Amino acid sequence: MEIFPTSPVWADITREVNWAEEVYRYDSGARQGATPWERPLYTYNVRARNFNELKQNSLHVFVNSHKGMVTPFLFKDPYDYTAQAVTLGATTAMGAGSGFYLTNEYGWAVIPDSAFLTIVDGRSGTLNSGSHYVASLDNGWVEVQVAVSSVWTSSFEFFRKAAFARKYTEQSNVWNNFSATLVIEELIPNVS
Beta strands per DSSP E along the chain: 13-18, 22-25, 31-34, 41-51, 73-75, 82-87, 99-101, 111-112, 118-121, 125-126, 133-135, 141-144, 152-164, 169-174, 177-186
pLDDT at 91: 41
Alpha-carbon torsion angle 4, 87, 42, 1, nearest 10: 30
> What was the pLDDT predicted at 190?
63
Distances (CA, A) of 110 to 34, 63, 101: 24, 23, 8
First and final C-alpha spacing in the chain: 16
> Looking at residue 89, what is its pLDDT?
59
Residue 110: predicted pLDDT: 87
pLDDT at 163: 94
Low pLDDT (below 50) residues in the chain: 91, 192
Q: In 10 A of CB 81, how many CB atoms?
A: 19
Angle at 113 between CA 61 and CA 186, to 5 degrees: 60
